[in-house]
Amino acid sequence: MNQPAVTTWSEDEQAFRMAIREFAESVIKPKVHEMDKNQQMDPEIVQQLFQMGLMGIETPEKFGGSASSFTMACIAIEELARIDGSVSVLCDVQNTLVTNAFLNYANESLQDKYLPKLAQEWVGAYALSESGSGSDAFALGLKAEDKGDKYVLNGHKLWITNGKEASVFLVFANLNPEAGYKGITGFVVEKDFPGFSVGKKEDKLGIRASSTCELLFENCEVPKDNVIGEVGKGYKIAIETLNEGRIGIGAQMVGIAQGAYEAALNYVQGREQFGKPLAKFQGIQFQLAEMRTELEAAKLMVYNAARLKDSGESFIQEAAMAKLFSSQAAEKITSLAIDLFGGNGFTTEYPVEKFWRDAKIGQIYEGTSNMQKQTIAKMELDR
């Protein structure tokens, strides 16, 4: 049985956290409101993420990456989310889904071709979801055909994060529908491949600067060499990559909750009612205590799962629990933050309404809360 990992930070981890925090505070924070309002990621921020080495945190140095750990990736995701969930999820998908899939499943040729670009200049996207394939992830309608010298893809994808910014897409399609999920295969698709295009961008409740797009495949031509992993084993790549990605979403939720909690804590210490600061009222103190306790529990669960992953131990159940709990905690903490701000919290002049909007997606993407509960329960019953 896995032993809980104590959340202690090395000097390198602490220094890394503070560097990301300084960057987020000085560079991202001044642009958050406008990016959210305009539903547009600032291209300069994306470039700075590359320059800081945050788009290839686990990528080996020979490919131009930072050669660091999964835990470090989670630290970056958390600290970015403390300021803006949209920037955080762009970095999250790049590291925990796309890059991890290339590191774990791509052959040497694909790694040599794409990992340097993903570490230094190309945003990546992970294309699994479709209109009829959400929680039932393997009910894919996107079809792939073997045309001898190439594959041809027809269909569409929905709700694809980083769709607008991405230059390369990890796409799952069914090459043999008669075989069911065993026909699913992963393909590497570049944005300028013939027959591929990015469709509409969704108008969303939260993480509005993060692009969530439809992808269109109309006789999209993919070179034979651009299969990632084995033909018919795409389902394995999808499942195992999402298991890691859920820890990243947990880190994002911790960061969003942290940002909301800090804003509320500062506000109640400065806001006076009935002749004294709100923080002097016991009822307010009790709410702060609940927020801080749930935030700490979520953080411990997320970094426990991350350290288990780094150490090569089983982490699937811990990842599911971390995502489930942290997303629930983030929604609760951000909602309480609005309560503590009162009427001010309901306006866009203050940051907490955005933290609340951004938190909601945590219970939906990369596996809904009900899917996490199913995973947790199944693993318990199978012991």
What integer pLDDT is reported at residue 117 of this predicted model?
98
Q: Is 353 a catalytic residue?
A: no
**pLDDT score for 4:** 44
Euclidean distance between CA atoms 255 and 186, whole angstroms: 31
Quote the pLDDT of residue 1: 43
Whole-angstrom CA distances from 300 to 7, 148, 193, 320, 380 are 6, 51, 43, 14, 21
Q: Which two tokens stand for residue 150?
A: 């190439």
- pLDDT, residue 7, reads 63
Angle among Cα 72, 74, 79 to the nearest 5 degrees reads 100
Eight-state DSSP code of residue 133? B
Which residue of the set 79, 331, 353, 366 is catalytic?
366
Q: In which residue ranges of the chain is pLDDT below 50?
A: 1-5
- Helical packing angle, 234-270 and 316-341, nearest 10°: 30
Q: CA 175, CA 142: separation in Å to the nearest integer?
A: 9
User: In sequence order, what are the residues at sequence separation of 6 or more whose Cβ sits closer than 8 angstroms to the Cβ of residue 345?
Assistant: 337, 338, 339, 352, 353
Q: How far apart are CA 184 and CA 176, in angstroms?
A: 7
In whole angstroms, how far apart are CA 23 and each of 49, 75, 156, 349?
Answer: 10, 13, 37, 22
Task: Give CA–CA dist 124/127, Å, rounded.
Answer: 10
Closest by CA position to 163, among listed 39, 246, 348: 39
Q: Which residue has the tokens 């394939």?
A: 133
Domains (ranges, CATH) in the chain?
A: 11-122 (1.10.540.10), 125-232 (2.40.110.10), 236-381 (1.20.140.10)
Helix ranges, the chain (H): 11-23, 32-38, 43-51, 70-81, 85-92, 100-105, 108-120, 234-270, 282-310, 316-341, 352-359, 369-381
